[in-house]
Chains A and B, each alone.
Chain A
């Protein structure tokens, strides 16, 4: 079953998009080949759901990260070889011979350069395979995780075949002659065609793993460990990867306390914290390294966030209604027994303070009964937290603090236990001396 995450969630977390400003994809997209980039994108689109898949991929990337392996192949080499291999059109020795001969004659008559290009392609492919062969056999001697080791071993068997080994030697020594071109063209495209196609897929995987592994090493990302034991989600020292000098925070949720109720003033950093958390959980489900110090989790069936629901108050009613419909959809999924991570930022902000308060309390309370799911719910209406704190079990309360400096609000971005009791609203009104100005005592 696929991991459930709708478009709004992907948008909220800014996950996809090669050219999108500060997307998570663009952060990790340092693959060498275009094929690798496509593979990376498909991994983003299809996070994993089983502990086994997640831990396997995570272990492989962790290996490449630790060993700081880089792919010894350039994008140009790879393109030339894949182009050549995709051009396979021959069926037997005769058509293969006629194909090469045709190019040769054409060139002698001065009507085309096909032969020389073919010669270059065949030589380049042999050299490419040779490089790959030594790279993979070196990897096999190291501590590669078992499953991936098997994949590498299969590729190694093909690459170490006698016929190809002869090719490597000849391609290095001198230019290949006509008979050799016929022979190796047939070997590469006809005899080893299928195996080499598989090999190219493996190269793309290697490309992604090396690239992501290297970024993890540079940035000090951690590898999350997934387990089925208990329904928990424990993230330590996480931060938003696009924020420089981001403040790290920790969040831990489990069966006993499955709701994090987050309060704090509007600019205190609630949304950023929620986005960072969403990104970490999403990446963990891809088996990717995460911007955190440590993470343990039981995989979810999906996640829903509602973070960027536009601040556009003009939308008024329709905005509120759209929000209600989305909450309803999530409620249906949760009630159907799915294990979901739900992140709601400023639920019902499109409506008045009183309704937002009532709706937040009622909806949060009802959601919290689903112990297998985890919820992070934020509001600037601290009263909602206070009433839940008195009546509910299963909640963790945290807030993003605000303090006043020279009459202006300042923020620490460091999560604190409890409910914000910041009452800066009246302080600001008093600082700006609104009442006195109106009464004409001050100008």
Chain B
């Protein structure tokens, strides 16, 4: 079953890049092959919602990180191979009959480009298979159980090929025409399917090795997934795109399943919420996460409302759009889906009274469920006070603003409690707008 997520959430978390600083996908997209990029993209599009798949992938990546193995193939082989294997027109198949003086002459003068390309593809395939034999040898001794399945599949596929002749031919500077004819038939026709499957395995390997490396250089950690239960514990998480990000710890469980976040506009609320979203998203892909440690019960999906824009074309006001989105989330929750829901400033598109009432009503409803985790930010501290009285399972956290003289300074470090910090009015005052107007030549 797929992990529930929608476009708005992916956009909020900047999972896929559209010009913005650096998307999460871009951060991992250091694969050596184009096929690897495609596999990586597919993984990003389908996080898991079951423990087995998450643990399996995370185990594989962790194994390759421990082995610290470089990608054992050369990137340029893959272009030659893909091009070679894509052409399955039987008329282009090399034939032993062509072994004439003319053919030899052509091959010496490099006049026959079609032939050259086929020969080039064959050489790349041989080199690839040779390297793959060596990889299997190296890995077979100490592979993690998580990778056994893949390894076994690779071994089965490799058995179809004749290792000794491949190793031997890979050492030769040039293959005679007869050998080329043999390999052409083998690779493009007889064992085409097997070779394609091997390529797919290698592209996955590319992703594992790349992600392991990125995880290591960025100091990401592997999350521990739990089956069932109500745990979400992330120690020292940080936003991967923020330089020298301040780490924060978020711990939630069944008796603390709602986090009410307050803080001034620039204090880092949105960044914290995005960080949480990205971390949980990556954890459900089985990828390393930007934190020092993480333990989580597997969820069915996640929804965030961090940058909800007015959908003018649909004619809905901002407020109505927000309500409809909350409704979608509510429907999943009503069906018993376990979700992470992150909402930045509920109902900002309306008057204070409605925002106050709406925040209380919806947050209280969230708190009454035991299916998932909810992070809600608000500027209406009065709503926070009421919620604190009514619900026992809400955790209150805030991001502080310290005043250094007239200038606000932000620590970006979560603290226990509620804050009334707002700096909007402070900017208005700092710019001296009211003072300008009061000192001008007004009447009355």
Contact = CB atoms under 8 A, between A and B. Distances in A.
B145 interface: no
Nearest to B341: A438
B443 interface: yes
B370 to A, nearest CB: 10
Interface stretch (A33-41, A83-91, A359-367): A359-367
A426 interface: yes
Nearest to B331: A437
B438 interface: yes
Contacts of B379: 352-355
Contacts of A312: 309
A366 B436 CA distance: 9
B309 A313 contact: yes
B412 to A, nearest CB: 15
A354 B333 contact: no
A425 to B, nearest CB: 3
Contacts of A311: 309-310, 312, 318
B4 to A, nearest CB: 15
Interface in A320-375: 320-321, 324-325, 327-328, 331-332, 334-337, 348, 351-359, 362-363, 366-367, 369-372
A432 interface: yes
B428 A317 contact: no
A440 B441 contact: no
A353 B428 contact: no
A106 interface: no
B442 A370 contact: yes
B433 A328 contact: yes
Q: Range of interface residues on chain A? A: 35 or more
Q: Which residue, A311, A354, A440, A443, has most C-beta atoms of chain B within 10 A?
A: A354
A429 B330 contact: no
B69 interface: no
A425 B309 contact: no
A439 B307 contact: no
A313 B307 contact: yes
A336 to B, nearest CB: 7
B331 A370 contact: no
Contacts of A320: 265, 424, 427
Contacts of B404: none
B427 A324 contact: yes
Contacts of B442: 335, 369-371
A395 B441 CA distance: 19
B365 A321 contact: no
Interface string B329-363: 01101111000000001011111111101100110
Interface stretch (A107-115, A136-144, A159-167, A377-385): A377-385
A394 interface: yes
B440 interface: yes
B270 interface: yes
A425 B351 contact: yes
Contacts of B358: 425-426, 429
A267 interface: yes
B320 interface: yes
Interface string A381-400: 11100000000001000000
B99 interface: no
Contacts of A314: 307, 309
A321 B437 CA distance: 18
A191 interface: no
Contacts of A313: 307-309
A442 interface: yes
Contacts of B352: 353-354, 357, 381, 383
Contact of B433 (A366, A423, A424): A366
Interface string B362-404: 1011101100000000011000000000000000000000000
Contacts of B266: 317
B428 A324 contact: yes
A246 interface: no
A429 B362 contact: yes
B324 interface: yes
B437 A367 contact: yes
B318 A317 contact: no
Contacts, number: 197
A428 B348 CA distance: 15
Given A355-B265, A434-B365, A425 B350 contact: yes
B444 interface: yes
Contacts of B422: 352, 354-355, 358
Contact of B351 (A267, A383, A429): A383
Contacts of B52: none
B1 interface: no
A435 interface: yes
B354 A335 contact: no
B241 to A, nearest CB: 15
A113 to B, nearest CB: 57
B361 A353 contact: no
A316 interface: yes
A336 B440 contact: yes
A355 B425 contact: yes
B307 to A, nearest CB: 5
Contacts of A15: none
A75 interface: no
A372 B440 CA distance: 13
A435 B333 CA distance: 11
A437 B327 contact: yes
Nearest to B333: A438
Contacts of B425: 355, 358-359, 362
Interface centre among A332, A351, A371, by most chain B C-beta atoms within 10 angstroms, is A351
A266 interface: yes
A321 B369 CA distance: 39
Nearest to B357: A426
Interface in B416-444: 422-425, 427-428, 431-434, 436-444
A394 B444 CA distance: 10
Interface in A105-156: none
Q: Which of B316, B335, B365, B380 has the most CB of A within 10 A?
A: B365
B71 interface: no
A423 B331 CA distance: 25
A24 interface: no
Interface string B318-330: 1110011011001
Contacts of B350: 265-266, 353, 380, 425
A316 B440 contact: no
B323 A434 contact: yes
Contacts of B428: 324, 327, 359, 362-363
A119 B334 CA distance: 88
A443 B331 contact: yes
A408 B345 CA distance: 23
23 contacts: A267-B316, A311-B309, A311-B318, A313-B308, A317-B265, A320-B427, A328-B432, A335-B436, A353-B351, A353-B379, A354-B424, A363-B428, A363-B437, A371-B442, A372-B443, A381-B352, A383-B352, A425-B354, A426-B361, A428-B323, A435-B362, A437-B333, A440-B336
Top 9 nearest A-B pairs by Cβ distance? A425-B354, A335-B440, A355-B424, A266-B317, A366-B437, A352-B379, A437-B330, A369-B442, A438-B365
Interface of B: 265-266, 270, 307-310, 312, 315-320, 323-324, 326-327, 330-331, 333-336, 345, 347-355, 357-358, 361-362, 364-366, 368-369, 379-380, 422-425, 427-428, 431-434, 436-444
Given A440-B335, A441-B334, 6 more contacts: A266-B318, A331-B433, A369-B442, A371-B444, A425-B353, A426-B354
